[in-house]
Structures are given as C-alpha cells and as structure tokens.
C-alpha cells in the first residue's frame, strides 16, 4: 500500500493506517513506514505540556503560525490518553487553533484514541515519522499534564517545553518534580494578564530549577515569560529552541538522545510483543487463571508460578533466574 505523502490527505490516510487496530493494517503501516524511514529524522521535534487551561492550544496556534510565516512547515500531534474516556481530544477543539488548522503549511492531527498511554504513544511516534517523511520540518507534540504522559512525550522529542501559569504559589502550584526534570525550558504563559506576577513566577521557577541537578552538561533549562494570546515572547522561545539545537548538535548530545530514544522504543515494542505472544499462547492461557488464584491466596510463590508459565511459554532459558 502506497500513500502520497506530498498531500495532506495522503499523510492523513497514512496516519489513519498507523492508528488502525487491525493486524493487516498495522503490518501495512509498518512496511510503508520502513519504506520512508530514510526521509525521516531531519525535523525539529518539540514537546509541549502544561496543566489544562494553561494555554497550550492558544500557544501552539500562535507559535505554529509564527513558524509557518518564517517559511517552516509545521505538524501538530497530540498524546492524550484520556481522549477516549472524555469522548473529546486535545486537538478536537480546532477553534482554539483557528489559524493553524487552515494554514496550508501546517498539518494538525488530534490525539489517537487508545486505552493505554503506551498504545497512544506508539501511534504518535509512528505518525511523527510519517510527518517528517512528508516534509514537515517542525513537529509539535502536545500533551496534557496528567499521569505519565509528559515523560512519554519527553521521550520522543528533542526539546521539551513546559508551560506554566503566572500565579505560582510557594508550593510550585502542585507541579510534579518529574516534569521539571524533563523540561528543557519553562515558559510562564499568559504573561499579558499580569507582567509582574509573571516575572515573580519566572524567578520562582529559576530558583526551583537551580535546586535540581542539570540534566545535561551542555544545557541549563531557561525560564522565560510569554503570551500565546498576544504573541509576546514567542520569538524568544524559538530563539532558545534554536540555541539548544545548535549546542546539542555540536556536543553530539542531540544524536545521543535520539539514539537512546529509539533503543528505548524498540525495547518497549519487544516487551509489548512478548507479552502479547505470552498471553496468546494457548497453554499459558489455560493455566494462567488457576495459577493466579494460587498466587493470590498464598499457596504458590509468585516466582514459582512465573517460572512454570515461562516454561510452558517457550524457550527453556526464558526463566526468572536468567
């Protein structure tokens, strides 16, 4: 199956194939992806997160439009594991991306549905590669700041931007420390509402970041203020992202980060594949429930049950002791 990636329609159809749950579609999608791999890898991949209402969609609309005006081609993807439950999705509200969604230099795709974060993220990773093969040189991946989704998105981008509200209390407004650890930059958004509050929040986050060990030797995450609504500060955000790219390209850490992400992704896929094969194995299936009960009621040690099942499953060396 071929898809014409030179049109948005062709790209959209290829992504739909990636998102399909049908095994034959997935095989087709994978074969197609393999055939376009050499055209991937050249874009700037940027993750954007923040609590609901921080202004992600508004920011992306303004930031993306600024980039297409500079001559870039911008694709916007989303990772939202909650989209199925709520019936909507992060980018369902195209009204919030009024300019970008009609910009012919942009491609906007809502989050794929899925009941696990891993499943949603896998599809987004593959869609990201398709967008690159289609010639989009900047990919923005939006995720809402819930659960583990930030860590997952940070694991598929070159640069991870965390948007914050200006009314930061001393309690870091409940922000998870884990988010600060993966941030390459913090932007205090909605600075137009109250400049001095935004500046206070900026100092606050600068202090918070100083407490943490810098994640890399060649980059200390800056804290800036901006407004998606007025556009103020967005050029500065872009300058910082370009500087990061320059520094990490020179030091080699950008390639290292990408390589580590690819290996991590492969490992996840192997684990998923093995688990699926394990669960589908007829004899494992016939024994699993009974053994689970024995483990649950304490008559069989978990390790013995696992060994039994691994024995049934296959290669005799697939044992816990190895």
Ligand X SMILES: Nc1nc2c(ncn2[C@@H]2O[C@H](COP(=O)(O)OP(=O)(O)OP(=O)(O)O)[C@@H](O)[C@H]2O)c(=O)[nH]1
**Residue ranges binding ligand X (CB under 6 A):** 50, 52-58, 90, 96, 144, 189-190, 192-193, 227-229
Q: Which residue's beta carbon is nearest to the bound ligand X?
A: 55
Q: Which residue's beta carbon is nearest to the bound Mg ion?
A: 57
Among Mg ion, ligand X, none, partner that 225 touches (CB below 5 to 8 angstroms by kind): none
> 106, 75 in Cβ contact below 8 A?
yes
Q: Phi first, then psi: give them for residue 297, nearest 5 degrees.
A: -95, 5
* CB closer to ligand X out of 53 and 178: 53
How many Å apart are CA 58 and CA 234, to the nearest integer? 12
How many Å apart are CA 1 and CA 275, to the nearest integer? 29
* CB closer to Mg ion out of 140 and 310: 140
- Structure-derived torsion over alpha carbons of residues 24, 3, 43, 140, reported in degrees to the nearest 10: -70
* CB closer to Mg ion out of 56 and 240: 56
Q: How far is the CB of 88 from ligand X (least distance, A)?
A: 9
3 state DSSP class of 66? helix
* CB closer to ligand X out of 54 and 128: 54
Q: How far is the CB of 84 from Mg ion (least distance, A)?
A: 16
CA atoms within 13 A on the CB side of 234: 20
236 exposure class (CB count in 10 Å sphere: 0-12, 13-18, 19+)? middle
Q: How far is the CB of 251 from Mg ion (least distance, A)?
A: 34
How many Å apart are CA 44 and CA 62, to the nearest integer? 17
Q: How far is the CB of 27 from ligand X (least distance, A)?
A: 34
* CB closer to ligand X out of 50 and 222: 50
Q: How far is the CB of 225 from ligand X (least distance, A)?
A: 10
Site string for Mg ion, 273-292 (x = CB under 5 A): --------------------
Binding residues for Mg ion, total number by CB under 5 A: 2
Q: Which stretch binds Mg ion (CB under 5 A): 6-14, 48-56, 152-160, 231-239?
A: 48-56
* CB closer to Mg ion out of 32 and 59: 59
* CB closer to ligand X out of 14 and 234: 234
Q: Does 57 bind Mg ion (CB under 5 A)?
A: yes
Give helix then strand counts, H and E, for the chain. 12, 7
Sign (positive or negative) of CA dihedral 36, 111, 235, 183: negative
Q: How far is the CB of 63 from ligand X (least distance, A)?
A: 11
How many Å apart are CA 237 and CA 241, to the nearest integer? 6
Under DSSP, the state recorded for 111 is P
Among Mg ion, ligand X, none, partner that 189 touches (CB below 5 to 8 angstroms by kind): ligand X
| CA 120, chain centre distance (Å) | 9
């Amino acid at each position: 199956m071929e898809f014409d990636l030179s049109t948005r329609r062709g790209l959209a159809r290829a992504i739909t194939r990636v998102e399909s749950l049908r095994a034959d579609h997935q095989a087709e999608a994978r074969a197609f992806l393999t055939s376009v791999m050499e055209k991937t890898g050249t874009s700037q991949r940027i993750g954007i997160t923040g609590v609901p209402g921080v202004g992600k969609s508004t920011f992306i609309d303004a930031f993306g439009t600024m980039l297409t005006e500079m001559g870039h081609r911008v694709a916007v993807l989303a990772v939202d594991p909650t989209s199925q439950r709520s019936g909507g999705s992060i980018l369902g509200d195209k009204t919030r991306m009024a300019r970008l969604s009609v910009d012919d230099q942009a491609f906007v795709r809502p989050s794929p549905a899925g009941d696990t974060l891993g499943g949603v993220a896998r599809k987004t990773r593959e869609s990201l590669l398709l967008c690159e093969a289609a010639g989009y040189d900047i990919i923005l991946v939006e995720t809402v700041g819930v659960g583990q989704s930030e860590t997952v998105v940070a694991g598929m981008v070159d640069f991870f931007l965390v948007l914050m509200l200006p009314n930061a209390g001393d309690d870091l407004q409940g922000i998870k420390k884990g988010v600060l650890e993966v941030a390459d930059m913090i932007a205090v958004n909605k600075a137009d509402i109250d400049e001095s509050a935004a500046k206070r929040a900026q100092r606050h986050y600068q202090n918070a970041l100083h407490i943490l060990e810098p994640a890399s030797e060649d980059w200390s995450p800056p804290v800036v203020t901006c407004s998606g609504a007025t556009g103020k500060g967005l050029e500065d955000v872009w300058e910082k992202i370009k500087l990061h790219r320059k520094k990490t390209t020179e030091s080699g850490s950008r390639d290292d980060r990408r390589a580590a992400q690819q290996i991590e992704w492969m490992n996840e896929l192997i684990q998923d594949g093995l688990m699926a094969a394990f669960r589908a194995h007829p004899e494992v299936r016939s024994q699993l429930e009974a053994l689970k009960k024995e483990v649950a009621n304490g008559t069989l040690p978990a390790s013995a049950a696992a060994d039994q099942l691994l024995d049934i499953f296959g290669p005799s060396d697939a044992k816990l002791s190895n």
